[in-house]
């Protein structure tokens, strides 16, 4: 049974979004980290980069495979989580907290309405 916090929004591609004003923090869900198992490397985008909603922007690597991460919302990246360079395992141990990937300044708050709520995401992963 995956953990799906009720205060977040979700993309079908298993990213989560935490909104605070016009900034969003993005990471991958508990379901995603569980499927990947041991994350050994995270390739993050650069701060300042402009992204469109659903654009591939990061890569998370487990022992076996590399997976693309898609930004659920469009905007400009304000900060990336440097802790993941030293300790990629944070994605597994704390996917909604210390395992965050990047923060983005929303260019179009309307993007949020295209995302799933917790119940919809739960149904999506078939839990």
**Residues 24/102, Cβ–Cβ less than 8 Å:** no
Q: Is 66 in the site for other proteins (CB under 8 A)?
A: yes
Taking CB under 8 A as the rule, which mask of x and - marks residues 79-98 in contact with other proteins? Answer: ------x-------------
Q: How far is the C-alpha of 60 from the C-alpha of 73, rounded, in Å?
A: 18
- Please identify which residue in 5, 12, 19, 40 interacts with other proteins, judged by CB under 8 A: 40
Distance of CA 29 to the CA centre of its chain: 7
Please say which residue, 47 or 66, places its beta carbon nearer to other proteins: 66
Q: How far is the C-alpha of 47 from the C-alpha of 66, rounded, in Å?
A: 22
- Please identify which residue in 61, 94, 105, 125 interacts with other proteins, judged by CB under 8 A: 61
Select the span of 23-31, 38-46, 73-81, 110-118 touching other proteins (CB under 8 A).
Answer: 38-46
Instruction: Select from 106, 95, 45, 99 the least CA-distant residue to 72.
Output: 106
**Residues 116/12, Cβ–Cβ less than 8 Å:** yes
Give the interface with other proteins as residue ranges (CB under 8 A). 37-38, 40-41, 43, 59, 61-64, 66, 85
């Amino acid at each position: 049974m995956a953990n799906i916090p009720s205060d977040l929004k979700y993309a079908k591609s298993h990213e989560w979004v935490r909104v605070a004003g016009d900034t969003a923090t993005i990471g991958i869900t508990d379901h995603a980290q569980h499927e990947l198992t041991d994350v050994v490397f995270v390739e993050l985008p650069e701060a300042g980069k402009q992204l469109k909603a659903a654009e591939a922007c990061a890569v998370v690597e487990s022992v076996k495979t590399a997976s693309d991460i898609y930004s659920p919302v469009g905007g400009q990246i304000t900060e990336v989580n440097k802790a993941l360079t030293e300790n990629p395992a944070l994605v597994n141990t704390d996917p909604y907290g210390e395992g965050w990937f990047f923060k983005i300044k929303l260019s179009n708050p309307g993007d949020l309405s295209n995302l799933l709520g917790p119940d919809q995401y739960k149904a999506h992963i078939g839990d």
